[in-house]
């Protein structure tokens, strides 16, 4: 197809890296581990943001904005939290540069040293709970349901575009509640919203569950998560929602007076999804020809390519296409009519396949004569000739059909890659030969989890919420277990 894209079967990881670059989604910057999100990639992220933001607001959340910087001492207040984030913090120590004496440029001005170092936020629980102390006095001030769209920094040593970058974009919800039950219900609600978004907008099937203790967020009592499966059999954590108990309220002394006048610590949640979702989106659906985008998140849903020789033919085609473009736009379909004369139709076909545009229309002189369009769908690459009077309906149908089809395809793949395993030998074999989620009994200890991880690189992705109780024995230790958990190698 002339795309020069490595095949997934040859080298999945290389295919991914090439695709992100070639489809103009993102690229590495001059700053180690930090990416540039290019306009086409950012347009997809904006569509994700818009849907998520709508869902958050419909469930009563409001947006706000908190400082980028966190005083170093704030981090230390919650013991698990600092343990989890101290090792990957960007630290601001000075607030001024000055000219180097040798004229070689600018150097840090040693006289402009901060009294207390500032951490570039890796997540905002500490600065936000320091603020909530001022906002919350009484039960009347609760719940506080706040979300923030922001950039965060975690100094990762090995980075990959979208999947793991030193700086990434995300949203982080931080809520405060009067009761434990209400906070747990909030954390569960947000996990459900993430699952709804992943499945019904991204077309990515996910498993809902809770994390084991060692995989929990630093400072959480319970971490709910949604886990997706990529085409190479590796799992990807697509979103997390944490029940934080009273940990941060205690660390930052946030109490409220109940109806009975009694002072009590506030209950908390936090929840987030990030530009990592872009990685999940790309890896779930795309193929050896390039991106495959779900119509609901595609910046361009329909592209129309004219095939012509000379100005006259182009004009005739353009005049014919114009009302169609208008009709589609009035129905909320985003359409691009690509009449550039700098590129040939074949080049354009390639380009829009690479960029995952769900539906492509082509129209040449013969189509014009016959009153037809050539309609191609990106997911299956099937083409058909459609009469002009039917084309709007056909496009509407196809956009729904593609959305459903890529979800079904991903779901079938996922279902075919959840395997019940009852021995460690089979576990190891399957992990190498097939990958996917391995549903296995586990004795519930961090030691066993760690040993399995060391020997196989597989981790417990989650304890699925819909897993019933089942008597069994841990595949590693042989000790009794009451339910299966899902293991996988993960991004």
Using CB under 8 A, list all residues that contact a second copy: 27, 29-31, 34-39, 42-43, 45-46, 62-76, 82, 86-99, 105-106, 108, 117-120, 127, 130-131, 134, 140, 146, 150-151, 153, 155, 167, 169, 342
Residue 11: phi and psi, rounded to 5, are -160, 95
Asked if the peptide bond before residue 143 counts as cis, ω within 30 degrees of 0, the response is yes
Cβ within 8 Å of residue 275, ≥6 positions away: 37, 45, 162, 165, 168, 169, 170
| Nearer residue to a second copy within complex by CB, 156 or 443 | 156
The burial class, CB within 10 Å (0-12 / 13-18 / 19+), for 223 is buried
Cβ within 8 Å of residue 438, ≥6 positions away: 419, 421, 427, 430, 431, 458, 486, 487, 488
Residue position matching structure tokens 């907008």: 201
Distance CA 378, CA 384 (A): 12
H or E element in which residue 167 lies: strand 167-177
Q: Report in angstroms how near the CB of residue 121 gets to a second copy at its nearest.
A: 10
Are 147 and 172 spatial neighbours (Cβ–Cβ below 8 Å)? yes
Q: Report in angstroms how near the CB of residue 257 gets to a second copy at its nearest.
A: 14
| Nearer residue to a second copy within complex by CB, 116 or 311 | 116
Bridge partners for 169 per DSSP: 151
| Nearer residue to a second copy within complex by CB, 138 or 455 | 138
Pairing status of strand 144-153 against strand 62-63 = parallel
| Nearer residue to a second copy within complex by CB, 26 or 229 | 26
| Nearer residue to a second copy within complex by CB, 99 or 380 | 99
Cα angle value 400/194/17 (rounded, 5°): 75
Q: Report in angstroms how near the CB of residue 182 gets to a second copy at its nearest.
A: 18
Six token digits for residue 116: 């207390």
Distance CA 435, CA 425 (A): 14
Q: Report in angstroms how near the CB of residue 352 gets to a second copy at its nearest.
A: 17
| Nearer residue to a second copy within complex by CB, 43 or 467 | 43
28: helix, coil or strand? Answer: strand
Distance CA 229, CA 439 (A): 14
Residue position matching structure tokens 């995989």: 215
| Nearer residue to a second copy within complex by CB, 66 or 349 | 66
Q: Report in angstroms how near the CB of residue 118 gets to a second copy at its nearest.
A: 7
Residue position matching structure tokens 């009035």: 330
Q: Report in angstroms how near the CB of residue 258 gets to a second copy at its nearest.
A: 15
Q: Report in angstroms how near the CB of residue 418 gets to a second copy at its nearest.
A: 36
| Nearer residue to a second copy within complex by CB, 86 or 467 | 86
Q: Report in angstroms how near the CB of residue 82 gets to a second copy at its nearest.
A: 6
Q: Report in angstroms how near the CB of residue 71 gets to a second copy at its nearest.
A: 6
Distance CA 444, CA 485 (A): 10
| Nearer residue to a second copy within complex by CB, 65 or 397 | 65
């Amino acid at each position: 197809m002339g795309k020069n894209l490595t095949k997934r079967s040859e080298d999945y990881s290389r295919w991914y890296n090439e695709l992100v670059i070639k489809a103009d989604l993102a690229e590495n910057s001059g700053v180690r581990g930090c990416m540039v999100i290019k306009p086409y990639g950012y347009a997809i992220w904006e569509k994700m943001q818009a849907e998520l933001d709508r869902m958050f607001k419909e469930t009563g959340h409001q947006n706000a904005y908190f400082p980028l910087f966190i005083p170093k001492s704030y981090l230390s207040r919650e013991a698990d939290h600092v343990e989890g984030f101290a090792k990957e913090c960007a630290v601001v120590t000075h607030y001024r540069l000055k000219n180097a004496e040798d004229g070689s440029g600018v150097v840090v001005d040693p006289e402009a040293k901060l009294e207390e170092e500032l951490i570039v936020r890796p997540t905002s629980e500490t600065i936000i709970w320091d603020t909530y102390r001022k906002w919350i006095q009484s039960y009347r001030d609760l719940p506080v349901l706040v979300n923030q769209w922001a950039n965060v920094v975690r100094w990762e040593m090995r980075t990959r575009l979208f999947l793991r970058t030193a700086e990434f974009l995300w949203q982080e919800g931080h809520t405060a509640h009067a009761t434990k039950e209400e906070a747990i219900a909030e954390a569960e609600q947000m996990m459900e919203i993430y699952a709804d978004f992943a499945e019904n907008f991204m077309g990515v099937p996910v498993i809902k569950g809770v994390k084991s203790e060692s995989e929990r967020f630093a400072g959480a009592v319970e971490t709910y998560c949604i886990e997706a499966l990529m085409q190479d059999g590796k799992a990807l954590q697509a979103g997390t929602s944490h029940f934080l108990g009273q940990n941060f309220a205690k660390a930052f002394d946030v109490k409220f007076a109940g109806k009975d006048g009694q002072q009590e610590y506030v209950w908390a949640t936090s929840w987030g999804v990030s530009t990592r979702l872009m990685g999940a989106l790309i890896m779930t659906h795309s193929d050896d020809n390039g991106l495959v985008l779900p119509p609901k998140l595609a910046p361009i849903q329909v592209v129309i390519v004219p095939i012509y020789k000379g100005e006259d033919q182009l004009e005739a085609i353009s005049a014919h296409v114009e009302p169609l473009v208008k009709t589609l736009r009035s129905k909320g379909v985003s359409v691009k009519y690509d009449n550039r004369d700098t590129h040939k139709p074949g080049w354009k076909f390639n380009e829009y396949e690479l960029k995952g545009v769900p539906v492509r229309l082509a129209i040449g002189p013969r189509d014009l004569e016959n009153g037809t369009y050539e309609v191609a769908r990106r997911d299956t690459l099937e083409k058909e000739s459609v009469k002009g009077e039917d084309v709007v309906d056909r496009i509407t149908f196809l956009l729904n059909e593609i959305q459903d089809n890529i979800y079904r395809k991903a779901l079938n793949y996922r279902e075919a890659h959840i395997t019940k395993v009852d021995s460690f030998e089979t576990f190891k074999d399957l992990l190498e030969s097939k990958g996917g989620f391995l549903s296995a009994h586990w004795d519930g200890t961090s030691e066993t989890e760690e040993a399995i991880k060391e020997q196989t690189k597989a981790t417990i992705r989650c304890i699925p919420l819909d897993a019933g109780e089942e008597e069994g024995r841990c595949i590693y230790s042989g000790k009794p277990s009451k339910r299966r958990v899902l293991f996988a190698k993960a991004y």
